[in-house]
Amino acid sequence: MTLFNPTRCQALLALLMLVFSLAAHSDPQPAPQPWLDALDTLKQGSMPEREKAIMQLADIKDAHNLAILQALLDSKLFITKTDARLVIGTDNHQGFDLSDAVSGASLGAVGHDALTKINLTNKMRGTLRKIIGELELSADDPKVRLAAVKAMAKEADEKAISLLRERAGQEQDEAVREAIKVALLLQDMDSEDKAVRIMAIEGLKAYDSQEAANRLNAMLEKDENGEYSEPDADVRNLAKASLTNINNRLQLYGSIETIFFGLSLGAVLVLSAIGLAITFGVMGVINMAHGELMMLGAYTTYVIQQLMPNYLGVSVIIAIPAAFVISALAGIAIERGIIRFLYGRPLETLLATFGVSLILQQSVRSIFSPLNRSVATPEWMSGSWQINDFLSLTWNRFYILVFCLLVFVLLLQILKRTSLGLEVRAVAQNRKMAKAMGIPTARVDAMTFGLGSGIAGVAGVALSQITNVGPNLGQAYIVDSFMVVVFGGVGNLLGTLVAGFSLGIANKFLEPFAGAVLAKILVLVFIILFIQKRPRGLFPQKGRAADS
């Protein structure tokens, strides 16, 4: 492929501008025929032809070309339906802001229907990533360079390796240099020279690289004829030692990961149970509609996201107080309308709130349709915190864990420090005495129920980030919530926290051995046995209040 001739390109561009009769002036851009041809193939071609076009574009070093490839990878490259022009479109929620892919000139905005997207397959995406990596290896931003090196290392061919070697000498950034070093060392492991292989193994020992572990493993494996794939015994011994070293670290990271998984599952359990711990634990109301109050919170998140589609990141934050208010109001309405007539009659309360849960489910079905609604995850909550090759913690779970602890501390403070908290505790301990002391028990009941329901709503916001937002959302969590509250000890918030986390961790340690289905059963059996032994849970209430 020929490189550009700047003067010819300028002339061509001038011609191009005439053809498109674009008034605005723009920088002289190279637009040679092969490039235009490749873009043309990209536009019309079938999938295999499109692949060829991408390969052709790969050999053109030019910032503008890079922008097109990047747009293609980000699925921002379109064809206009009216005049079949190749354009780059940026979604502005009403439609797309267009710019011409060839000239870069702005073309104004159009609706969503006016464009056809250029579709890609996985293979093309992989190729594109590698090409972009090669083009971006000398980018100014070290982060871009790091991503480029990683993309190239994944499918390292000779060209990529020579580019990386070239880059290694001039790279200034520490992290990028390390990444290049690992990639090159991995390549050295295939060397014919024994000394180079030994050097490579020694060099890789210190890195937590999955790829290195795989290569070492492969060295120690025997092929069909019973021969080691690594012929030299010295190298094999070194590889074995190095592998043990890596495996020890791997085990440690594995345990950390399992504990994190357990904590995050526990956080979800605690979040969904903590509202129930108040209504069931403190007030003694068996609220079967608790799950549906969480569902209301999740739907609130959905509605808020629909109201402000341009601010995904903020909408989740705004949804937290909004969900609290809506679920709390719903809770107060349930308490005032139904439950207050049924205090002291647990069976009737159970049936009535079960009815309420069905009504709430069906109304959501009628308003929002029975299909699940899609709640988008904001950018800052997706992806994971990559600590090294072996250990990464997902952001959404991490934030939910932090959020759960925040909610817990806040609730504890409300109950301990505020006058509402004092009244709630007083009514919970001895209703009649509290009434005699002049506490408006009816109002306190409503407020307590509202508080518990509001927290259920907040839990719903968290759940909307990890599971389906649909009419059945609540049902999936109601059993778990009751389980946690009963296990932790009715009427004890700290018990709920401990119970939630320990059940979460127990579940996650069992899962690898027993499988998800059996792990759940085992945990349930354990709780049944535990309740037989200690009917009041982990932290039973003491004193006179417990006897009544």
Partner 1 sequence: MFNKISKKLLLAPIAAAVMAFFPVAHAEDTIKVGVLHSLSGTMAISETTLKDTMLMLIDEQNKKGGLLGKKLEAVVVDPASNWPLFAEKARELLTKDKVSAIFGCWTSVSRKSVLPVIEELNGILFYPVQYEGEESSKNVFYTGAAPNQQAIPAVDYLMNDLGVKRWVLAGTDYVYPRTTNKILEAYLKSKKVAKKDIMINYTPFGHSDWQSIVADIKKFGSAGKKTAVVSTINGDANVPFYKELGNQGISAENIPVIAFSVGEEELSGIDTKPLVGHLAAWNYFMSVDTTKNAAFIKEWHDFIKNPKRVTNDPMEAHYIGFNMWVKAVEKAGTTDPDAVQKAIIGVEYPNLTGGMSKMLPNHHISKPVLIGEIQDDGQFVTVWQTNKLVDGDAWSDYLPESKPIIADWTPPINCGNYNTKTKKCSGQNY
Q: Which residue, 145 or 215, is less far from partner 1 as judged by CB?
A: 215
Q: How far is the CB of 297 from partner 1 (least distance, A)?
A: 16
Distance between CA 143 and CA 176 in Å, rounded? Answer: 8
Q: Minimum distance between the CB of residue 16 and partner 1, rounded to whole angstroms?
A: 31
User: What minimum distance in Å lies between the beta carbon of 431 and partner 1?
Assistant: 38
- Residue 125 vs 205, nearer CB to partner 1: 125
In the complex, least distance from residue 443 CB atom to partner 1, rounded to whole angstroms:
37
State the minimum distance, in angstroms, from the CB of residue 28 to partner 1. Answer: 35
Around Cβ 49, how many Cβ atoms within 10 Å? 12
Round to whole Å and give the CA distance between 275 and 292: 12
Tokens of 211: 């790829």
Nearer to partner 1, 232 or 389 (CB): 389
Where along the sequence are the contacts to partner 1 (CB under 8 A)? Answer: 47, 75, 117, 119-122, 125-126, 129, 154, 210-211, 214-215, 217-218, 257-258, 261, 264-265, 268, 370-377, 382-384, 386, 392, 394-397, 466-468, 470, 472, 476, 508, 511-512, 515-517, 520
Q: How far is the CB of 511 from partner 1 (least distance, A)?
A: 5
Q: Is 228 exposed, middle or buried (0-12, 13-18, 19+ CB in 10 A)?
A: middle
Buried b (16+ CB within 10 A) or exposed e, 238-262: bbeebbeebeeebeebeeebeebbb
- Residue 373 DSSP code: B
> SS3 letters for 459-502?
HHHHHHCCCCECCCHHHHHHHHHHHHHHHHCCCCHHHHHHHHHH
Q: Using an 8 Å Cβ cutoff, are 353 and 289 in contact?
A: yes
Q: How many Å apart are CA 403 and CA 408, to the nearest integer?
A: 9
Task: Tell me the pairing of strands 115-117 and 86-91.
Answer: unpaired
When the beta carbons of 119 and 548 are compared against partner 1, the nearer one is 119
Please say which residue, 5 or 214, places its beta carbon nearer to partner 1.
214
CB of 399 to partner 1, least distance (A): 11
| CB closer to partner 1, 70 vs 394 | 394
CA distance 508 to 519: 8
Beta carbon nearer to partner 1, 397 or 431: 397
